[in-house]
């Protein structure tokens, strides 16, 4: 190890690192690939809420 290059450190922190493009691409792919899970969870939550509301109205 050697002295810390603070300029390089802050460039990476600000999103200009060597792996930033790969990280962003992987993040977007993960979000896209998981969309069906979020949609299914929302549909389930809506169905449960509707069922709960119907039971409360009885």
pLDDT for the residue numbered 1: 86
Residue 12 lies in a domain: no
pLDDT in tens, 5-57: 999 999 999 999 999 999 999 999 999 999 999 999 999 999 999 999 999 99
Q: Which domain holds residue 50?
A: 17-57
Contact between residue 17 and residue 11 where contact means Cβ atoms under 8 Å apart: yes
Rounded distance between C-alpha atoms, residue 46 and residue 8, angstroms: 48
Answer yes or no: is 9 within a domain.
no
How many separate domains does the chain show? Answer: 1
In a domain, 1, yes or no: no
């Amino acid at each position: 190890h050697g002295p810390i290059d603070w300029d390089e450190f802050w460039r990476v922190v600000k999103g200009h690192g060597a792996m930033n493009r790969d990280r962003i691409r992987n993040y977007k792919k993960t979000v896209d690939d998981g969309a069906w899970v979020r949609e299914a969870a929302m549909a389930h939550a809506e169905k449960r809420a509707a069922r709960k509301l119907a039971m409360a109205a009885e």
